């Protein structure tokens, strides 16, 4: 292990012999769709239980549980990481932790897990991320202190979460700033969006996501000594496995959509990440544990970095993070066989692509958040799992997963394939 920090470049660390064993995720339900009434805690339990099963790890052997969640969207949200841990079958004595780095929070669960293992505070860690954007509340802050007659103010927290008050406008406008800087046209953005939808639909047709998405049914999560958690889904729903934001489209259809952030802007609803509900989970462990259990991990977690950028161009966050990742590992882009960068906005990812000189043929090869959706706390885990699985299918040595972060940050994680 070697850690790095630089006030101009960011922070980073390389790891020794720590692995992503396997994982799973729920389908991602569209806003106000099939999963819209499922508690974020329950979404996390579905994903974490499935990840343990896929990894062939008994919940009683977990040393720590680390969970990501951004928008608190249930009455018991304060207890979310602990409840997910307990109802996943993890021992009562094992502590649970919440982490938050907005869009990169899913990555941060893996990063925190690897650092805890490196420090000797765990051998095997359950990582999970969850977001229910449909249940994001409408709130009125300050009512406890009273309010003047006729001046009760309520705001939509989902909408407010998209508005960066430091930049002075919604995050979508930061993508328009990038479009201006890199001369990205409306057609460029629509063409990238079409690629995302086409690649996602192709992956679905090939059955790629079947090994990743768990079928969801109504359930009762029961653990001795705890109150049972009963989960309902809409009537007639059985073995729900559909990423509901995904659809078929054409360049002509995308061209008909109006800009959503600026009058003559390049970003539309069709070229922006889908607002969805869902959860994802992976299990991370050290070499001694894996060897003792005879497990075959998907990838080794090799290194991670985080960097800051101007909030007004927050979507460029992956650029310094990926550059620093390559610097501390001594690799070049030519060594990287696959890359996953979260598709917050089409212009944003095109800006990263142009600045880094990325090869689009190895970027988001199974589509991305424009098609699949971006459940904030779960996305980093989804990207890591999708990348790790694809690396094994293609026999790729190195892969990078990265995301921009609201407020102006970027995180990147390097994965190595131990199976080639």
* Catalytic residue ranges: 103, 404
* Residue 420: CB atoms within 10 Å: 10
Q: Which residue has the tokens 């959706």?
A: 373
What would the two tokens of residue 160 be? 């407010």
What would the two tokens of residue 1 be? 């292990």
Per DSSP, the three-state class of 403 is: strand
Q: Say which DSSP state 70 is in.
A: -
Q: Say which DSSP state 16 is in.
A: S
Distance from C-alpha of 269 to C-alpha of 254, rounded to nearest angstrom: 9
Residue 11 sits at the vertex; the CA angle it makes with 8 and 13, to the nearest 5 degrees, is: 145
Give me the sign of the Cα torsion angle 372, 376, 378, 381. positive
* Residue 220: CB atoms within 10 Å: 8
Per DSSP, the three-state class of 224 is: coil
């Amino acid at each position: 292990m070697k850690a790095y920090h630089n006030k101009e470049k960011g922070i980073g660390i390389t790891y020794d012999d720590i692995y992503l064993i396997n994982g799973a995720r729920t389908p991602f339900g569209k806003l106000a769709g099939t999963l819209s009434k499922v508690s974020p805690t329950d979404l996390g339990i579905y994903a974490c239980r499935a990840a343990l099963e896929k990894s062939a790890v008994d919940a009683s052997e977990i040393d720590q549980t680390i969970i990501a969640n951004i928008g608190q969207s249930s009455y018991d949200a304060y207890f979310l990481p602990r409840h997910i841990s307990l109802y996943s079958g993890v021992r009562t004595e094992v502590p649970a932790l919440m982490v938050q780095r907005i869009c990169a929070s899913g990555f941060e669960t893996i990063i925190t897990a690897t650092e805890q293992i490196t420090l000797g505070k765990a051998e095997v860690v359950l990582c999970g991320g969850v977001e229910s954007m449909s249940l994001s509340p409408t709130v009125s802050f300050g009512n406890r202190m009273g309010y003047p007659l006729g001046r009760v103010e309520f705001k939509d927290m989902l909408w407010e979460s998209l508005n960066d008050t430091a930049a002075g406008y919604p995050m979508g406008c930061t993508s328009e700033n990038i479009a201006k800087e890199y001369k990205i046209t409306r057609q460029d953005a629509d063409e990238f969006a079409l690629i995302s939808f086409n690649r996602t639909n192709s992956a679905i047709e090939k059955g790629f996501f079947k090994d990743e998405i768990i079928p969801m049914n109504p359930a009762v999560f029961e653990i001795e000594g705890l109150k049972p958690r009963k989960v309902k889904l809409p009537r007639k729903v059985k073995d729900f496995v559909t990423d509901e934001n995904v659809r078929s489209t054409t360049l002509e259809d995308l061209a008909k959509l109006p800009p959503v952030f600026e009058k003559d802007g390049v970003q539309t609803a069709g070229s922006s990440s889908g607002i969805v509900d869902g959860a994802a989970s992976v299990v991370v462990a050290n070499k001694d544990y894996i060897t003792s259990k005879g497990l075959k991990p998907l990838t080794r977690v090799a290194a991670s970095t985080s960097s800051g950028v101007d909030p007004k161009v927050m979507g460029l966050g992956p650029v310094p993070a990926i550059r620093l990742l390559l610097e501390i590992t001594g690799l070049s882009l030519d060594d990287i066989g696959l890359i996953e960068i979260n598709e917050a906005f089409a212009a944003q990812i095109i800006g990263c692509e142009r600045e880094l000189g990325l090869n689009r043929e190895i970027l988001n090869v199974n589509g991305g958040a424009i098609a699949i959706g971006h459940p904030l706390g779960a996305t980093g885990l989804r990207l890591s799992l999708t990348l790790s699985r694809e690396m094994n299918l293609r026999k790729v040595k190195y892969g990078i997963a990265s995301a921009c972060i609201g407020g102006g940050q970027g995180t990147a994680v390097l994965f190595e394939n131990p199976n080639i």
